[in-house]
């Protein structure tokens, strides 16, 4: 397993991170323990969660992902050997059940969210704490064409967010701070505001896959020049890049079968690109999922690549990507497809 430094923090994280958003919904606690054990056995030391998980948001399952992860860490006695990342929920229409619906990144709300996560995780500190998405109106979750919003004035200034995170670092409750679903402006504003203080962001958790390489447009240069690497999520495009949904297939128990409203990766151009990527992988004797994850691993701006799985068979394929070196021919094939159908699922 390759390890990378988390920004300038000195924290070393595995290039593969195990995501836990299915824990509590698609996975029971017993399932979670098996998947976490398997990940750790393969050298993974980095585990990602969020206060809103399990996904999708539901009052009945909120917090279970953190709780299952914390219970596993306690059962295995491995807290000093793992790096735990989690996130504070931002404002939105589906999260009134979290912290009474007061979902802003103020000092009081950050403090409350951190304390709640610490309790669920059963730990004294969180290694990486992140804002889950910007509080302000911006381009994220597939939104494009930002034109400004005159009514968008009621968001916590980034200076206050940085101060709130610094207070948690000073209290010893979090070790580092990062952002998620952020834009180039947001990342640069955070860096400018924090300077060289401990609250300087160390990672950007944004989507990145063969179907969505928009990170390369504005954020990749920032990541490399400022030591704020990509913490990539959805490297399989909601499972699309496994190929299991091609030809109209909808396997029982699959995420798209359970949550059909999440169509970002399944529009016509995305399906066309997926067909070509899957064919490329199979023509070279590769598992499509392993090829897709291995491609993300090749990116120079990557810090860690978040995989997820609901079964041990899926996880075995995903973990195998860590040892997969893509040939020049495969990489050229990927570039050809991307040039023909760039970013069909932004």
Residue-wise pLDDT tens digits, 216-239:
999 999 999 999 999 999 999 999
Assigned domain for 345 exists: no
Residue 332 has pLDDT above 90, yes or no: yes
Catalytic member of 53, 129, 208, 245: 53
Assigned domain for 258 exists: yes
Round the CA-based radius of gyration of the chain to a whole number and report it. Answer: 19
Tell me what pLDDT residue 102 has. 84
pLDDT tens string 6-24: 999 999 999 999 999 999 9
Ranges 142-146, 187-191, 282-286: which has the least confidence: 142-146
Q: Which two tokens stand for residue 238?
A: 């909601």
Tell me what pLDDT residue 94 has. 85
Tell me what pLDDT residue 269 has. 97
Assigned domain for 53 exists: yes
Residue 147 has pLDDT above 90, yes or no: no
Q: Which two tokens stand for residue 315?
A: 């996880």
Number of domains within the chain = 1
CATH number of the domain encompassing residue 88: 3.20.20.100
Assigned domain for 24 exists: yes
Assigned domain for 122 exists: yes
DSSP symbols for 141-173: TT-------TT---S--HHHHHHHHHHHHHTTS
pTM over 0.85: yes
Residue 87 has pLDDT above 80, yes or no: yes
Q: pLDDT-derived band of residue 192, with 50, 70 and 90 as boundaries?
A: very high
> Around 238, how many Cα atoms within 13 Å sit in the side-chain half-sphere?
24
Residue 149 has pLDDT above 80, yes or no: no
Assigned domain for 346 exists: no
Entry field: residues in the chain: 346
Assigned domain for 225 exists: yes
Task: Give catalytic status of residue 53 as yes or no.
Answer: yes
Assigned domain for 94 exists: yes
The mean pLDDT value of the chain amounts to: 96
> Around 345, how many Cα atoms within 13 Å sit in the side-chain half-sphere?
26
End-to-end CA distance of the chain: 29
8 A C-beta contact, residue 48 and residue 17: yes
* Strand 12-14 relative to strand 3-5, pairing: antiparallel
Q: State which residues form the domain around 222.
A: 3-340
């Amino acid at each position: 397993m390759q390890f990378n430094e988390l920004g300038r923090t000195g924290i070393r994280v595995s290039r593969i991170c195990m995501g836990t958003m299915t824990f509590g919904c698609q996975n029971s606690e017993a399932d979670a323990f098996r998947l976490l054990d398997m990940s750790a056995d393969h050298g993974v030391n980095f585990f990602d969660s969020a206060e809103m998980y399990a996904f999708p948001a539901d009052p009945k399952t909120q917090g279970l992902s953190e709780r299952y992860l914390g219970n596993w860490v306690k059962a295995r006695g491995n807290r000093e050997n793992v790096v735990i990342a989690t996130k504070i929920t931002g404002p939105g229409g589906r999260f009134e059940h979290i912290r009474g619906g007061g979902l802003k990144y103020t000092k009081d709300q950050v403090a409350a969210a951190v304390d709640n996560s610490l309790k669920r995780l059963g730990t004294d500190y969180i290694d990486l704490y992140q804002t889950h998405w910007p509080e302000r109106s911006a381009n994220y979750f597939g939104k494009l064409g930002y034109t400004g919003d005159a009514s968008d004035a009621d968001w916590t200034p980034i200076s206050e967010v940085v101060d709130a995170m610094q207070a948690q670092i000073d209290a010893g409750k979090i070790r580092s701070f990062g952002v998620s679903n952020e834009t180039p402006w947001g990342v640069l504003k955070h860096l400018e505001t924090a300077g060289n203080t401990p609250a300087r962001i160390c990672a950007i958790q944004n989507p990145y896959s063969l179907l969505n390489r928009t990170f390369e447009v504005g954020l990749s240069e920032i990541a490399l020049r400022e030591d704020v690497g990509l913490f990539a999520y959805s490297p399989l495009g909601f499972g699309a890049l496994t190929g299991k949904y091609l030809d109209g297939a909808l396997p029982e128990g699959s995420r798209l079968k359970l949550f059909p409203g999440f169509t970002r990766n399944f529009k016509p151009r995305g399906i066309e690109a997926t067909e070509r990527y899957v064919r490329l992988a199979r023509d070279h004797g590769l598992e499509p999922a392993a090829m897709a994850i291995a491609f993300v691993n090749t990116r120079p701006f990557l810090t860690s690549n978040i995989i997820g799985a609901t079964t041990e068979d899926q996880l075995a394929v995903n973990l195998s990507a860590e040892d997969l070196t893509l040939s020049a021919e495969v990489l050229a094939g990927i570039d050809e497809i991307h040039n023909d159908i760039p970013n069909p699922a932004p």
